[in-house]
Structure 1
Amino acid sequence: MRIIQATLEHLDLLTPLFVKYREFYGSLPYPDSSRAFLEKRLRRKESVIYLALADDDDKKLMGFCQLYPSFSSLSLKRVWILNDIYVAEDARRQLVADNLIRTAKKMAKETQAVRMRVSTSSNNEVAQKTYESIGFKEDTEFKNYVLPISDEL
């Protein structure tokens, strides 16, 4: 497999797998909105997306990951958030996620980031084992909270 950084030219290849990723987490597909979302991120350079392509077929997307930049005021450095990662069903158990994360880690080092962060559902044991095998440590120091933002004031 080959890992490449996505560009606008990859939107048609990426969108169907991104839609499957959203469906995996219970979101409605919305392919047009999903494509527009990805296009905005890439155009505005608001995220970095890596694609895992099959060696023998540039049109076969095995998986992807999307990272968003953040910063740490305490360390005065960049932090990368591994926000999305998904492997196509027919490409699982081929170390696709491992290769995507290792590429992301290399980019994080090159941009002098202090760390990468990732969250996953508490029952996604496969993902947890993958993250831990690559060197991610569970954050036991901080408890995370979410504040939903609604249209109501």
Structure 2
Amino acid sequence: MPAITTRRATLADLEAIVPLFDAYRGFYGQASDPARARDWLRERMQRDESVVLVAEREGAVVAFTQLYPMYSSVRTARTWILNDLFVAESARRSGAARALLDAAAEFAREQGAGGICLETTRDNAPARALYRKAGWSEDATQWYSHTFGG
């Protein structure tokens, strides 16, 4: 199997990431809208509001993860939220997801972050198994959300 490599994405990677981001949104029940996906990613990247990492196989982008900064007053440190992670169907079980998890953790450490977190649904057993195998801890913290339209 060809090797998976990871790196931080740039705006030059935008068109390669858009189909993955659109499919990621589709996985969570959103209608396909590549223009909206492109605009969202471009704006986040241009404003340095997120960090996008990509996984490549034979020079093609096959997966991405998007990290958002957050701050911990208690720890007086920046932390990162691994908000999005998606692997193209053709690249699943290739090690791309694990490579991105490891790259995200390394990025956060290099930035001097106090930690990195993510959230997934309780019924996403494959993802939860991967996260545990990659050294992530699962806790019983109760998360609440308050959504506003759209």
Same fold (TM over 0.5): yes
Measured after TM superposition, the shift of residue 148 of structure 1 is: 1.3
Question: Distance in 2 between the 1:20 and 1:150 partners?
Answer: 22
Residue 22 of structure 1: aligned partner: 25
The amino acid of 1:118's aligned partner reads L
- Where does the alignment leave 5 or more consecutive residues of structure 1 unmatched? none
Q: Which aligned pairs between 1:44-83 and structure 2 lie closer than 5 A?
A: 44-54=47-57, 56=58, 58=59, 60-83=60-83
TM-score (norm. length: structure 1): 0.92
CA distance in 1, matches of 2:31, 2:38: 13
Match of 1:103 in 2: 103
The one-letter amino acid of 2:122's match is S
Compared CA separation, residues 61 and 116, structure 1 to 2 (3 A): same
CA RMSD of aligned residues (A): 1.2
Offset, 1:23: 0.5
Q: CA deviation at 1:147?
A: 0.8
Which amino acid in the other structure matches residue 67 of structure 2? L
Q: How many percent identity over aligned positions? A: 37
CA distance in 2, matches of 1:109, 1:8: 24
Q: 1:29 Cα deviation (Å)?
A: 1.2
What TM-score comes out, normalization by structure 2 length?
0.94
Moved over 2 A (4+): none
Structure 2: which 5+ residue stretches go unaligned? none
Give the aligned partner of residue 9 of structure 2.
6
